[in-house]
Structure 1
Amino acid sequence: MKLTKPLITGAVGIGLLITAAAPSATAAQTGAGQASAGQLRVTIGSAEGKAGAVASPMANATCTINRITVNRYSSCEWVTVHVDVIRVVNGRPVIEGTADFNAKHQMTLKANSANWSEKFTVSKAKTTGKGKGVRVNIGATSGGGTKATVKFPQGRTLDSAGNGTVSYKSAAIAPKKIKPKAKTTYKYTFTKAGYSPGGVSYASATYRCDNYYGSTRTNRSGCAFPEAPTAVSMVGLARIDEGIRKLRARGGHYGDPNGGKPLHWMTDKTQEGKNRAAVCPRSAPADMKRVGRTSCDEYPFASTREGGTHLPANQREITWVKVQENKSQGGRITAWRGKMHVMHGDPFYVVTS
């Protein structure tokens, strides 16, 4: 969370003192005139971001005060802000009034477009003394080559609730391209007649846009919150599903959406081959060959950072399956990656029956 300092001239200064509690915030101070007069002070909330593990990708993230909550395509950020209206006399601030309000941002990304939208609300402020009549302007900027445009009744007072939107528009993304991760920075400027302005800013959850699975014929641009784990299901792949369930019954917890640690996707094909070779024998045992189960399925997958022998033996397993079952699994994983915009390093879980 960033802040500005009102301009102070002479022995008596008048200004707005702003404090705010919000996630993903940093604080700093700048000023002019007397260093001790009319300062802006920010208190940062200790709450951290929280990701929903296997929530439906189209479901709205739940909202919790002073927290950013995300799932793969939705986020809710709920911020509280406290404004002190002060008069600085002989270097000492005298609080003449206060205003307390909250701002709730609900952002919804799109799996099939790099353009998306956000709605936000500013609550009616609870005021004391000269806290009435404080006006607010709200701006937003985005990184990663995306333009953010705010629609809000700028200059409105905090004495009543207000609503606004932020629309996001990205330039065309070339096939196989992944844009840098980015955040939205929200900037608030507070004004009141006879007082110097105050300001505060904070950031959204991190998002990422790509056209990694697109081609010259098909545009598959979309955006996701990469820190929110998604999930791929092995239900219906009988032997693969069974092998993972048996491992979990023995205490294996990696990739388990029911309290386990997530796996992380990996796109390094050389390391993937090494991971597979480290745990899968060259040939199936005789009893497996007799029943046609000649394909080695390793878990965690070789295409994860946890694959191969990166985890202790009690956290991994192999299962011999029929070739067609392994091919079906590969097709399912490919479809899941495209739908959820899963990239290198993204966390995920594996669902079993």
Structure 2
Amino acid sequence: MSVQQQEQRCAQRAANLGTPGNYECAVVTSSGGLGTSAVPVGEDPASAPLTARRSGGDASPQAISPACLLGVSNPTRAISCSDRNWTVTHYREVNGVKTPIGTVDLNIKSSVDFEEGQGSTPAWDLDVEITVTKTWGTLQGGTAGNSWTGCFGHQDKCTTSRLSGSNDENEPVALPPKAKVTKWYTQYSASMTNNQVLPITGNLGSALELTTPANPVTIADHYGNTLWGRCDNAETNRYGAGCVDDKGLAFVMYSAIDNEKVGPVADHVYDAIRTLPSHWGRPYAGKPLTRLTDLTKIEANRRVACGGSPAPSCDEYPLASSYQGGNGAAPGDRSTRTVPAEANSSQGGLTAAYFDYYRVLDTDEFYVQAIKKDGSRAW
């Protein structure tokens, strides 16, 4: 709710009480926030453990994720961060003149650590840290009220399931001067049908209703913060249902060091990323690829790129499984090379594994890293 809307409520309340133009009011404002990063900051794709994902149900109390210290909202695809400042201002209005008479400043840090769930209900941890940074005037003693999360009352998106030591919805909270209050929530997505995509941005994070000498105020940090989330239950994903920060960067990597068979493809992709005008798949001074899942269009991309070359031996870049494949890139902005069939086969398996690991859906952006046998990287 905007400041103007909050003030209008106060004015209407005063009018109803017969004291228009002479009343007290409390409003909340926010500032700050974390930006998203267009380059990798929190995870090297070479470190992605493609053999397994974490299992849900093993959540334990923890502080704000250390990855959030990197200062961006999307340090990895599995971690989302938010850092916002809030001010509660108590003022008195007399004959249309507003005079502040009290304030309390809060900082709310939040992080979400996405885990894989069981069946169609993936889980995540939400950690919240509320700090009272300054108090003054009528709010010198701080404030108090109740706290909840953006899942409260939105069972169609997510629910909070209290584990031992974790917090529940709609709990009392005291915020005296210099207080630091931590909250830990274990949350689950709503049950999803096969191939359902469930956006949960706007439901991640906390909310507070606080008392003031005038009227109660609501801080809905889960609205407009930088905790991004999206769950899906893609039938083809080997890890089952899951959630990610869909603003986080996703990667595909071909490493001749880790997989000797993919070496010829890694060499080709390395050269293509470095020499093509658009530097497809490079986060630094390049352009991302966007995933394509339509098998008919993928095959059409291969035919455009490879022409009459035998499919098992023709490697094309940008990938056929991207919207930049085939005619999606200009003739001078794409590359093909003949490689052994086993190299192409290894590439296909790795590509699918990374798509699953990062939960890359149709039209999602992703980047590509290629590592040659001597350790040289495309970027």
Please, what TM-score do these two structures have when normalized by structure 1?
0.79
Per-residue Cα deviation, 1:144-190 (whole angstroms, up to 9, x for no partner): 6312466485241242111112331234434x423322213443322
Match of 1:82, SS state, is strand
Partner in structure 1 of residue 269 of structure 2:
244
Deviations 1:62-118 (A, max 9, x none): 3477x6334201011000112212122223221112222210001101145511111
State the one-letter code of the partner of 1:146.
C
- Please, which of 339, 344, 367 is the counterpart of residue 321 of structure 1? 339
Alpha-carbon distance in 2 for matches of 1:125, 1:64: 22
Counting aligned pairs with the same residue, the percent is 23
Q: Which residue of 1 aligns with 2:207?
A: 187
Match of 2:281? 255
Moved more, 195-204 or 140-149: 140-149
Partners of 1:214 and 1:270 in 2: CA distance: 17
Alignment match, 2:25: 15
Partner of 1:156: 174
Equivalent in 228, 232, 247 of residue 210 of structure 1? 232
| Stretch of structure 1 that moved more, 246-255 or 340-349 | 246-255
Q: Which whole-Å CA distance do the structure 2 matches of 1:261 and 1:125 have between them?
A: 41
Residues 166-221 of structure 1: CA deviation (Å, up to 9, x unaligned): 331234434x42332221344332212x3112223223433121221469xx8712
Instruction: Write the deviation string for residues 285-336 of structure 1: whole angstroms up to 9, x where unpaired.
Output: xxxxxxxx96111111111011112223343101111111111111111222
Q: What is the CA–CA distance in structure 2 between the aligned matches of 1:184 and 1:134, rounded to whole Å?
A: 25
The RMSD of aligned alpha carbons is 2.8
Residues 209-242 of structure 1 show CA distances to partners (whole Å, capped at 9, x for unaligned) of 1221469xx8712111122221111111222111
Helix, strand or coil for the counterpart of 1:72? coil
Q: 1 or 2, which has the higher strand percentage?
A: 1
The corresponding residue for 1:134 is 143
Which residue pairs with 1:146 in the alignment? 158
The residue number in structure 2 matching 1:269 is 295
CA distance in 1, matches of 2:276, 2:150: 46
TM-score, normalization by structure 2: 0.74
Distance 1:301 1:341, change over 3 A: same
Kindly tell me: are residues 242 and 210 of structure 1, through their superposed partners in 2, closer, same or farther at Cα, counting changes over 3 Å?
Answer: same
Count of matched residue positions in the alignment of Structure 1 and Structure 2: 317
Bigger drift between 1-10 and 112-121 goes to 1-10
> Which residue of structure 2 lines up, in the alignment, with residue 61 of structure 1?
67
For 2:95 and 2:103, locate their aligned partners in 1 and report how far apart those are by CA, in whole Å.
Answer: 21
SS in 2 for 1:232: strand
Relative to structure 1, is the Cα distance of residues 313 and 257 closer, same or farther in structure 2, using a 3 angstrom cutoff? same
Q: How is 1:6-45 mapped onto 2 (pairs within 5 angstroms)?
A: 6=10, 7-8=13-14, 9=17, 10-11=19-20, 12-23=22-33
1:49 maps to which residue? 36
Ranges in structure 2 where 5+ consecutive residues have no aligned partner: 49-53, 55-64, 162-166, 257-261, 372-379
- Cα distance in 1 for partners of 2:318, 2:289 equals 8
Question: In the TM superposition, what is the alpha-carbon distance from 1:251 to its structure 2 partner?
Answer: 4.4
How much does 1:341 deviate? Answer: 1.6
Greater Cα offset, 231-240 or 250-259: 250-259
Q: In 2 relative to 1, CA 165–242 (structure 1 residues): closer, same or farther, beyond 3 Å?
A: same
Structure 2 partner of 1:170: 189
Q: Which amino acid aligns with 1:134?
A: T
Q: Which residues of structure 1 form unaligned runs of 5+?
A: 24-46, 285-292
